[in-house]
A and B are shown apart, each in its own frame.
Chain A
Amino acid sequence: MKYLWLAAYTDIIESLRARWFMVYAMVFGGLIVILFAFGLAESRIMGFTGLSRLLITYIQLSMAMLPIFVLITTVRSVAGDREAGVFEYLLSLPITLSAWFWGRVFGRFFVVFLPVFLAMIGATVWGMAKGADVPWQLLIYYTGLLMALAWCFLGIGMLISTLARSADVAQGAAFVVWLTLLLFLDLILLGVLIQEHLPPETAVAIALANPMQVFRTATMMLFDPQLVLLGPTAYVILDNFGQLGYIAYAILYPIALGTACAGLGFVLFKRSDLP
């Protein structure tokens, strides 16, 4: 366990000094500033005002940006480190492969989640200073969803990093994965699938398997509990899961998927040539 935390700590220190982290932190921090600057905290939509309104917008934007940021930064830095000889040296030190791999996963999770979380906390503190009510339940729920999404794509990123032998290939593969999930997020595409006589259950299953769609639907559920925006798919979701059940699924499924991908990545990493 000591070695796992050592590896995690080392990865955190490495990442905090990397240029990608600065860009990453600036994007999410800047997003909150922009949302405040454009007065989103004062606007109203579907009965949501103040911080709730701002957080809803933030979470929608995070859904679009977080996965690609996590994927690209993870695969570039992990595969890049391998190419640059970092693995050759650090793995010549007496550390077990499990401590090394999972230490990197936990360290990286801390680093990718920290700016997203701090931006949200910053918004809350700013809102409180301005006298707005803090939607604690919403904040905790969104924190859980963002954690699950970040973990999921981190796991996918680690799997891609293990499979790809160069940073360029890893980056290309990460982009393809993100684009595929984004395409299946598009209700138009799902519409085409249905038009092509694909059973609706299959289309719904695809939507439920896509972590980005799961996240999107779960965030919708808070301001649209009946999922009116989603159309008929809502019946399948609400009939099979119920509102609470779906919220639990939206948090647990991405975590399970991320863990499975990272686990598979670890098995392959252990069996393959390390540097």
Chain B
Amino acid sequence: MIQFENIVKRFRRHQVLKGVNLTIERGHRVALVGSNGAGKTTLIRCLLGEYNCEGSVSVDGQDPRQYRREVLSKVGFVPQLPPPLRMPVGQLIRFAASLCDTDPGRMVEVAGKLGFDADHFHSQPFVKLSGGQKQKLLIAIALGRESELLVMDEPAANLDPEARHIFFTLLAEKKERAAMLISSHRLDEVASLVNRVVEMDQGEIVLDDKVADLVDLSSRLYCRIRLIQPEAAFAKAIGEWGFNGSDGGLVWDGFIAGPDRLRFLGLLSRYAALLSGMEIIEAEDKEPSVNVV
């Protein structure tokens, strides 16, 4: 579906991409990882036809620069930093839906699933929303249409755990018929979302590997954590994951999204000395309520 052939990009004398070759097929969920300045954003901008570059980029055989509308009609893009748009939420949704020839109601619906009530914020300028609300709306615009390629730059960074789970579930619905390119500077942020990892360093691909695709994107895990003593810092950190405490802060119960397990274990590892017991099981019938922001 996507073909990068010997892509070179220079900014004056500085060569940011040094002959990148990469092919991504439908069904591939690619984590594009690397440190700052590795060339991830530049590669994405070449893919979106926003940068001129040497070599050739094609999406289904079409050059995104030459066939902008045809190519970008298939692409749902979520940037790392939300743009400071002053237009109201309703106007942004209508604008994006008109350009994508889709029903704005679909975007509103996806936003609602993520916990963002777009109708309530209809007249609110986009720039005045919180970081999480902006991210939810941009994801809703990307997913609320017929996108065959999802390009996302740190898409879940500002989402609360519940919204992350819904987001992963929405991605799961698209995983067979779409390709995904998810950029992050930390692999653990996106590891469970993807079935392929491409690592970039100084403008070159240094690793291109398949990863075990065993985690169901839409799965949930029920967790119970027991502590040897109550701890305020832990209570604050686990509270952000939506966990409820009992027994004087010694026992904590909650749900995590399946693909979030690595991140969650990362959190627990910081408090390893406090843990006296831990239970994590696949949740089937325990559906937590969705908090609408």
Tell me if B86 counts as interface (CB < 8 A to partner A): yes
Nearest B residue to A272 by beta-carbon distance?
B52
Nearest B residue to A98 by beta-carbon distance?
B68
Evaluate whether A275 and B50 lie within 8 angstroms (CB atoms) in the complex, with A2-B98, A92-B75, A94-B100 already known. yes
Considering the chains assembled together, what is the distance between the CA atoms of A92 and B84 in angstroms?
Answer: 15
| Residues on A with beta carbons closer than 8 Å to the beta carbon of B73 | 94
Evaluate whether A92 and B72 lie within 8 angstroms (CB atoms) in the complex, with A17-B125, A273-B52 already known. yes
Q: How far is the CB of A56 from chain B (nearest CB, A)?
A: 37
Q: How far is the CB of A99 from chain B (nearest CB, A)?
A: 9
Of B81, B88, B99, B125, the contact of A93 (CB 8 Å cutoff)? B99
Of A17, A93, A96, the contact of B86 (CB 8 Å cutoff)? A17
User: 1/0 per residue A1-38: CB within 8 Å of B?
Assistant: 01100100010011001100000000000000000000
A-B contact count (CB 8 A): 84
Tell me if A228 counts as interface (CB < 8 A to partner B): no
Tell me if A176 counts as interface (CB < 8 A to partner B): no
Nearest B residue to A10 by beta-carbon distance?
B95
| Residues on A with beta carbons closer than 8 Å to the beta carbon of B271 | none
Tell me if A197 counts as interface (CB < 8 A to partner B): no
Q: Are A96 and B79 in touch, CB under 8 angstroms?
A: no
Interface residue ranges of B59-97 to A (CB < 8 Å): 68-73, 75, 77, 79, 81-88, 91, 95-96
Q: How far is the CB of B174 from chain A (nearest CB, A)?
A: 18
User: 1/0 per residue B137-158: CB within 8 Å of A?
Assistant: 0100000000000010000000
Tell me if B45 counts as interface (CB < 8 A to partner A): yes
| Residues on B with beta carbons closer than 8 Å to the beta carbon of A95 | 68-69, 72, 99
Tell me if B241 counts as interface (CB < 8 A to partner A): no
| Residues on A with beta carbons closer than 8 Å to the beta carbon of B69 | 94-96
Q: Are A273 and B72 in touch, CB under 8 angstroms?
A: no
Q: How far is the CB of B183 from chain A (nearest CB, A)?
A: 13
Q: Are B83 and A94 in touch, CB under 8 angstroms?
A: no
Q: Are A96 and B68 in touch, CB under 8 angstroms?
A: yes
Tell me if A65 counts as interface (CB < 8 A to partner B): no
Q: Are B86 and A14 in touch, CB under 8 angstroms?
A: yes
Tell me if B48 counts as interface (CB < 8 A to partner A): yes
Tell me if A97 counts as interface (CB < 8 A to partner B): yes
| Residues on A with beta carbons closer than 8 Å to the beta carbon of B72 | 92-95
Tell me if B121 counts as interface (CB < 8 A to partner A): no
| Residues on B with beta carbons closer than 8 Å to the beta carbon of A2 | 98
Considering the chains assembled together, what is the distance between the CA atoms of A95 and B96 in angstroms?
Answer: 10
| Residues on B with beta carbons closer than 8 Å to the beta carbon of A94 | 68-73, 75, 99-100
Q: How far is the CB of B79 from chain A (nearest CB, A)?
A: 5
User: 1/0 per residue A72-106: CB within 8 Å of B?
Assistant: 00000000000011111111111111000000000
Tell me if B51 counts as interface (CB < 8 A to partner A): yes
Nearest B residue to A92 by beta-carbon distance?
B77
Interface residue ranges of B1-54 to A (CB < 8 Å): 45, 48-52
Q: Are A275 and B45 in touch, CB under 8 angstroms?
A: yes
Considering the chains assembled together, what is the distance between the CA atoms of A87 and B83 in angstroms?
Answer: 8
Q: How far is the CB of A3 from chain B (nearest CB, A)?
A: 7
Q: Are A273 and B50 in touch, CB under 8 angstroms?
A: yes
Nearest B residue to A86 by beta-carbon distance?
B83
| Residues on B with beta carbons closer than 8 Å to the beta carbon of A90 | 83, 85
Q: How far is the CB of A69 from chain B (nearest CB, A)?
A: 19
Nearest A residue to B153 by beta-carbon distance?
A88
| Residues on B with beta carbons closer than 8 Å to the beta carbon of A130 | none
Interface residue ranges of A237-275 to B (CB < 8 Å): 271-275
| Residues on A with beta carbons closer than 8 Å to the beta carbon of B77 | 89, 92
Evaluate whether A91 and B96 lie within 8 angstroms (CB atoms) in the complex, with A14-B86, A14-B87, A275-B45 already known. no
User: 1/0 per residue B114-153: CB within 8 Å of A?
Assistant: 0000000000010000000000001000000000000100
Considering the chains assembled together, what is the distance between the CA atoms of A2 and B100 in angstroms?
Answer: 12
Evaluate whether A271 and B52 lie within 8 angstroms (CB atoms) in the complex, with A10-B95, A86-B85, A94-B72 already known. yes
Q: Are A85 and B99 in touch, CB under 8 angstroms?
A: no
Q: Are B48 and A92 in touch, CB under 8 angstroms?
A: yes
Nearest A residue to B75 by beta-carbon distance?
A92
Evaluate whether A18 and B86 lie within 8 angstroms (CB atoms) in the complex, with A94-B100, A273-B51 already known. yes
Considering the chains assembled together, what is the distance between the CA atoms of A97 and B87 in angstroms?
Answer: 20
Of A3, A14, A97, A275, the contact of B99 (CB 8 Å cutoff)? A3
| Residues on A with beta carbons closer than 8 Å to the beta carbon of B95 | 6, 10, 93
Q: Are B68 and A97 in touch, CB under 8 angstroms?
A: yes
Residues on B close to A: CB < 8 A? 45, 48-52, 68-73, 75, 77, 79, 81-88, 91, 95-96, 98-100, 125, 138, 151
Contacts A3-B98, A17-B125, A89-B82 given; 11 further ones with Cβ under 8 A? Answer: A13-B87, A84-B84, A89-B83, A90-B85, A92-B151, A94-B99, A97-B68, A271-B52, A273-B51, A274-B51, A275-B45
6 contacts between A and B (CB under 8 A): A17-B125, A86-B85, A88-B50, A93-B99, A94-B75, A275-B45
